[in-house]
Amino acid sequence: MIKVTNLHKYFGELHVLKGINEEIHKGEVVSIIGPSGSGKSTFLRCLNLLEKPEEGQILFEGVDITAKGVDIDKHRQKMGMVFQHFNVFPHKSVLENITLAPILVKKMPKDEAEAMAMELLAKVGLESKAQEYPKRLSGGQKQRLAIVRALAMNPDVMLFDEPTSALDPEMVGEVLEVIRDLAVGGMTIVIVTHEMGFAKEISDRVLFMDGGVIAEQGSPQDIFGNPQNPRTKEFLSKVLNA
Amino acid sequence: METITTIISLLSRYGMMFVKGTGVTLYMAFLTVLFGAILGSLICLARRVNFAPLRWVAAAYVEVIRGTPMLLQITLSYLTLPELLHMDIQPLYCVILALILNSAAYVSEIIRAGIQAVDVGQAEAARSLGLSSSMTMREIILPQAIKNILPALCNEFIMIVKDSSLGSTFFVGELMTVQATIKGALYLTLEPLMIVAMIYFCLTFTLSKGVVLLERRMSRGD
């Protein structure tokens, strides 16, 4: 579904991604782990071109989205993204947060969009908050809203950028629960996370990134149970014994 | 004591002149901020377009306006505008035009700062949903930026109320002109000055209290 070839990204002098080759298949759940500064988030943000890579190619459903003249807005509709800091729209109600893009971009009739939004809200236990504004929501509720907002566009893949890193510990569970349901439901997921237990549980594949490259990858059993790369071993021993 | 009685008698005899002067001052400030805001928005827009020469012109305009004295700009407008347009333009409107051109530069910076203050995550979230950059600006950025912009725009109005006094150089009828007229007619220096000082202060003080209220209301949504 997503095929990445020789991806390079620079921030000024800083060479953040140093030639990434990777293929994400339909229905796969892929976790990206690694130390901070290793390029995990940058890699994820390249997938929907929130960061523009300097070199390399990203094929999404057969289309090279890094090519000139590609209407990226059209492809982004098919790639939902969830951010560390939620980025819900504070000036719109919970319902409007969800219906905004379907109405504006997909030209969906308002009543249809609202019915769909209510259905999605019910799935994550927020239907009673539909008319509230985001400032009245807890962090966990905001993140569930952000997930539903992305789902409302009916995407083919969901990208999660450290979705629980900004949450109070007691709210991590409720958000992971929603992501787990998505994974079980067959959604293609790429998730950058520090929740090792969760990555181990839901992933089909785990990528370990270090220094701007994918240093090791494999099944969760292999990566967590029998890592080969010394950097992977070092990283896992640090985070798992913390 | 004598000063106070003089002030009271001045007010009772020439009160209407001060009222008129206040009217002209507010009229100037109102027109300036209204058209300054429109022109300022256009300048701000010009600074964001994908066409470098237009960006440079807009940036240069802002720098030149901010880097030269307002009195100079007003004088220039007064001296050249009627000739430039081959029209008999009243001095008042020469001054107002200079104020507008000046204010627009500051307003464009106010709008720019207001837009920049909106968290970039907001735009990223909107774009990630497939919204175009113009939809993102209209639906997500501007409605949030307006909260930063409106109070600053009101402060600009307060500044213009004070800066319009420069128009008295060309006797355009605002408060400082009234003061100068009375001073010239009655050979009184201190008293008319104190009266207009009080009027200016009442105007700006009320307005700035209003801005505080507005800011409080605006931040309620956060």
**pLDDT, tens only, A128-164:** 999 999 999 999 999 999 999 999 999 999 999 999 9
Average pLDDT over residues B74-92: 91
Question: With an 8 Å Cβ cutoff, is A20 touching chain B?
Answer: no
| Interchain proximity B127–A76, CB inside 8 Å | yes
Question: What Rg, from alpha-carbon coordinates, does chain B have?
Answer: 21
Tell me how far apart the alpha carbons of residues A210 and A40 are, in angstroms, rounded to a whole number.
Answer: 8
For an interface test with A, the pick among B124, B127, B129, B133 (most A C-beta atoms closer than 10 Å) comes out as: B129
The structure tokens 């059209």 sit at: A74
DSSP state of A25: P
Long-range pairs of B9-16 with CB within 8 A, sequence gap ≥ 24: B10/B182, B10/B188, B10/B191, B10/B192, B10/B195, B11/B195, B14/B182
State the pLDDT at residue B182. 92
Our CA-based measurement puts residue B125 at a distance from the nearest CA of chain A, in whole angstroms, of: 6
Tell me how far apart the alpha carbons of residues A106 and A169 are, in angstroms, rounded to a whole number.
Answer: 36
Q: How confident is the model at residue A242 (pLDDT cuts 50, 70, 90)?
A: low
Has the ipTM of the complex gone over 0.90? yes
State the pLDDT at residue A167. 94
Our CA-based measurement puts residue A68 at a distance from the nearest CA of chain B, in whole angstroms, of: 16
**For A91, which of B127, B135, B143 is closest by C-beta distance?**
B143
Q: How many other β-carbons are positioned within 10 Å of the β-carbon of residue A197?
A: 11
Q: How confident is the model at residue B220 (pLDDT cuts 50, 70, 90)?
A: low
State the pLDDT at residue A150. 97
Q: How confident is the model at residue B2 (pLDDT cuts 50, 70, 90)?
A: confident
Our CA-based measurement puts residue B124 at a distance from the nearest CA of chain A, in whole angstroms, of: 7
Residue A193 near residue A160 (C-beta atoms within 8 A): yes
Residues of chain B contacting residue A79, judged by C-beta atoms under 8 Å apart: 128
Handedness of CA A36, A38, A43, A46 (dihedral sign): positive
Tell me how far apart the alpha carbons of residues A184 and B30 are, in angstroms, rounded to a whole number.
Answer: 61
Q: How confident is the model at residue A90 (pLDDT cuts 50, 70, 90)?
A: very high
Average pLDDT of chain B?
A: 93
State the pLDDT at residue B219. 74
Residue A151 near residue A80 (C-beta atoms within 8 A): yes
Average pLDDT over residues B185-208: 93
Question: With an 8 Å Cβ cutoff, is A51 touching chain B?
Answer: no
pTM of the model: 0.86
Higher pLDDT, B1 or B157: B157
For residue B133, the SS3 value is helix
Handedness of CA A125, A181, A29, A95 (dihedral sign): negative
Question: With an 8 Å Cβ cutoff, is A76 touching chain B?
Answer: yes
Residue A106 to residues A1, A114, B107, B131: CA-CA distances in angstroms?
A: 22, 13, 36, 10
Tell me how far apart the alpha carbons of residues A128 and A123 are, in angstroms, rounded to a whole number.
Answer: 12
pLDDT exceeds cutoff 70 at A198: yes
State the pLDDT at residue A32. 97
Residues in chain B: 222
State the pLDDT at residue B197. 95
Tell me how far apart the alpha carbons of residues A133 and A141 are, in angstroms, rounded to a whole number.
Answer: 11
Q: Which fold has domain B25-221?
A: MetI-like fold (1.10.3720)
pLDDT exceeds cutoff 70 at B30: yes
State the pLDDT at residue B222. 56
For an interface test with B, the pick among A87, A103, A105, A190 (most B C-beta atoms closer than 10 Å) comes out as: A87
Our CA-based measurement puts residue B118 at a distance from the nearest CA of chain A, in whole angstroms, of: 11
Contacting residues for B53 by C-beta, under 8 A, at least 6 apart: none
| Interchain proximity B135–A74, CB inside 8 Å | no
Tell me how far apart the alpha carbons of residues B131 and A154 are, in angstroms, rounded to a whole number.
Answer: 15
- The least confident of A43-52, B52-61, B210-219 is B210-219
pLDDT exceeds cutoff 60 at A72: yes
Q: How many other β-carbons are positioned within 10 Å of the β-carbon of residue A12?
A: 6
Structure tokens that stand for A198 in this block = 């969760």
Per cent of chain A over pLDDT 90 is 97
Our CA-based measurement puts residue A207 at a distance from the nearest CA of chain B, in whole angstroms, of: 23
Residue A60 near residue A4 (C-beta atoms within 8 A): no
For an interface test with A, the pick among B119, B124, B128 (most A C-beta atoms closer than 10 Å) comes out as: B128
State the pLDDT at residue B85. 87
Q: Which residues pair with A27 in a beta bridge?
A: none
State the pLDDT at residue B221. 57
